[in-house]
């Protein structure tokens, strides 16, 4: 399943401290910018970034680094188990007095608004992803509104939600979940 979805075991469970946790803490404590190679789960790509650390914390079984990302031009959250390399730059930076810390995810400016129709059992999505707005429909279903920065992340969410969830908007993504399920099943069958 990992190969079919394009994810790795570290995306599912992170039982130990990630490799760069101590280095991230030191950079934060000393007010130093860091250069990282980061594998984005949303886009399924690796990017090179310079980050000014604001906070390092653990949440729901994963370690995160929050900071000002110069590539994105704003606050971003980075899961430390997805950092592939980290170098301290030696450049001193000033952390804001009121650190954004463990706040809500700030979507990039290229994020798209996605509206999902899902069964009532999908209420866990709102608790798992704080940027989700959830409405209950008269039919007893959920209407989930969320900002999505990549189709790969949305595919994984749709697979977790199952066949009763579908994309309402944007219309061009209405078959994304079914296509991801077919592709996953096809890859699974070819490996067995």
Taking only the tens place, the pLDDT of each residue in 16-28 is 689 999 999 999 8
Give the whole-angstrom CA distance, residue 157 versus residue 176: 11
* Extents of the domains making up the chain: 2-92, 112-191
Whether this prediction's pTM lies above 0.75 is answered by no
Report pLDDT for 130: 55
Number of Cβ within 10 Å of residue 78's Cβ equals 23
- By 3-state DSSP, what share of the chain in percent is helix, strand and coil, each rounded to 5? 30, 35, 30
The answer to whether domain 112-191 has CATH 3.30.70 is: yes
Residues 139-153 as b or e (16 or more Cβ within 10 Å = b): eebbebebbbbbbbb
Give the whole-angstrom CA distance, residue 80 versus residue 183: 29
Task: Classify burial at 130, counting beta carbons within 10 Å of its beta carbon; exposed 0-12, middle 13-18, buried 19 or more.
Answer: exposed
CATH class of 2-92: mainly beta
Report pLDDT for 129: 65
Provide, rounded to the nearest whole percent, the portion of the chain with pLDDT above 70: 78
Report pLDDT for 98: 45
């Amino acid at each position: 399943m990992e190969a079919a979805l394009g994810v790795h075991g570290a995306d599912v469970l992170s039982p130990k401290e990630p490799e760069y946790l101590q280095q991230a803490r030191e950079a934060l404590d000393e007010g130093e910018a860091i250069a990282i190679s980061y594998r984005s789960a949303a886009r399924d790509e690796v990017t090179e970034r310079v980050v000014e650390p604001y906070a390092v914390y653990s949440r729901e079984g994963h370690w995160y680094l929050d900071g000002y990302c110069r590539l994105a031009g704003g606050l971003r959250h980075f899961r430390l188990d997805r950092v592939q390399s980290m170098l301290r730059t030696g450049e001193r930076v000033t952390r804001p007095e009121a650190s954004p810390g463990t706040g809500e995810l700030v979507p990039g400016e290229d994020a798209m608004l996605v509206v999902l129709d899902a069964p009532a059992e999908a209420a866990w999505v709102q608790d798992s992803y704080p940027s989700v707005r959830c409405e209950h429909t008269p039919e007893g279903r959920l209407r989930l509104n969320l900002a999505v920065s990549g189709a790969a992340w949305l595919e994984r969410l749709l697979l977790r939600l199952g066949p009763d969830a579908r994309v309402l908007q944007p219309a061009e993504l209405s078959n994304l979940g079914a296509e991801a399920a077919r592709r996953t099943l096809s890859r699974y069958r070819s490996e067995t």
